[in-house]
Amino acid sequence: MDADPRAAYDAVAADYARLLMDDSDELAAKPADRAWLDAFVARVDGAGLPPRVLDLGCGPGRVTAYLALRAPGVEVVGCDPSTGMLAEARRRFPGLAFAVGSWSSPGVTAGSLGGLLGWYSLIHTPPAERPAALVSAYDALAPGGWLLLAFQTGADEGVELQRPYGHDVALVAYRLDLDAVVRDLEAAGFAVVERVRRDPVAPERTPQGYVLAQRGRRPGSTDVHLP
């Protein structure tokens, strides 16, 4: 049984934020990552979808804040199971909304989202639990709503991180099998629109994966079609 990542993220929250937001601006240094986020939120903005995006596993809110700046017409909300991360997010971005939520329980009304972002947060869900997590995401999205995932790729193996963010805490992250993620998305009812695996860029040590998917029709259901 994996250690609950909440306790680890509570412990590392301040140092995680400092390393990725203060000592350097990780997102500013990654134009390709910003391009994924820009394209994702542009698909929600003004598309006739609910103008609401959930950053699921938002951590200290750096990507929540980035999306909110990029699409002022969209309400961007962050959620995370770690209260330490949420405290950091609220302190840094008092004008944004943050709430407790997780892949198993995103804490939003069914069908209420135009977009759902999982930016390096699905990496803490054991692969056997991923199909159910993606069904939760499907249910939270409006028909035609968009899902963007980013993650480290591999063969779905769990890796015990060594002194994550300088702390002696137990934290397991999965390197997701991109093909398996696509299969799980399609089984949940998503249409996968783009999928990319790219080589690591220092200080990354593993290839990275990105998947953009749209809520379509769940196999065997009488659900609505894509608009």
Ligand X SMILES: C[S@@+](CC[C@H](N)C(=O)[O-])C[C@H]1O[C@@H](n2cnc3c(N)ncnc32)[C@H](O)[C@@H]1O
Inter-residue contact 147 to 118 (CB < 8 Å): yes
Candidates 11, 33, 57, 93; binder of ligand X (CB under 6 A) is 57
Instruction: Please report whether residue 58 would count as binding ligand X according to CB under 6 A.
Output: yes
* Count of residues interacting with ligand X (CB under 6 A): 19
Please, which residue, 29 or 226, has the CB nearer to ligand X?
29
Q: Which 119-178 residues touch ligand X, going by CB under 6 A? A: 119-121, 124-125
The pair of structure tokens assigned to 96 is: 């944004």
Which residue's CB comes closest to ligand X? 59
Supply the DSSP string of 147-169, one letter for each residue: EEEEEEBSSSEEEE-SSGGG---
Q: Which 24-53 residues touch ligand X, going by CB under 6 A? A: none
The pair of structure tokens assigned to 226 is: 């894509």
Please, which residue, 5 or 144, has the CB nearer to ligand X?
5
Inter-residue contact 172 to 3 (CB < 8 Å): yes
The pair of structure tokens assigned to 202 is: 């220092």
Tokens 């977009």, residue located: 115
Footprint of ligand X (CB under 6 A): 5, 9, 56-59, 62-63, 80-82, 85, 102-103, 119-121, 124-125
